[in-house]
Structure 1
Amino acid sequence: MNVTFLLTTLVVVVTPGTGVLYTLAAGLAHGRRTGVVAAFGCTLAGLPHLLAAVTGLAALLQAGSVAFTVVKYVGAAYLLYMAWSMLRDRSALVVEQDPAPRPAARVIGSAVLVNLLNPKPALFFLAFLPQFVPAGDIGAMLRLGGVFMAMTFAVFTAYALCAAALRERLPRRPGLLTGMRRGFAACFVALSLRLAVA
Structure 2
Amino acid sequence: MSPEFLLTALIVCISPGTGVVYTLACAISGGRRAAFAAAVGGTLGTLPHLAAAVLGLVAVLQTSPALFSLLKYAGACYLVYLAWQTLKDRSRFEVGTEDTASFTAIVMRGVLINILNPKLSMFFLAFLPQFIGPDSLSPTLDMLLLGVFFTLITFAVFIVYGLGASFARQRILNQPGTLSAMRYGFAACFMGLGARLLFATA
TM-score normalised by structure 2 residue count: 0.91
Q: Is 1:25 matched with 2:25?
A: yes
Q: CA RMSD in A?
A: 1.6
Q: Is 1:197 matched with 2:193?
A: no
Which 4+ stretches in 1 moved above 3 angstroms? none
Task: Name the structure 1 match of 2:45.
Answer: 45
Equivalent position SS for 1:128: helix
Measured against aligned partners, the alpha-carbon deviations of 1:95-153 in whole angstroms (never above 9, x if no partner) come to 31x52663111011000011111122111111111222348622211111110010001
Structure 2 residue ranges without an equivalent (≥5): none
Say whether the 8 Å CA contact 1:92–1:181 is kept in structure 2.
no
Say whether the 8 Å CA contact 1:93–1:178 is kept in structure 2.
no
Structure 1 residue ranges without an equivalent (≥5): none
TM-score normalised by structure 1 residue count: 0.93
- Choose 109-118 or 65-74, whichever is displaced more: 65-74
Q: CA deviation at 1:176?
A: 2.4
Task: Name the structure 2 match of 1:149.
Answer: 151
- Choose 2-11 or 150-159, whichever is displaced more: 2-11
Distance 1:21 1:118 in 2: 15
Task: Name the structure 2 match of 1:4.
Answer: 4
Report the residue type matching 2:2 in the other structure.
N
Alignment of 1:35-184 (within 5 A): 35-96=35-96, 98-99=97-98, 102-133=101-132, 134=136, 137-170=139-172, 172-184=174-186
Number of matched residues? 197
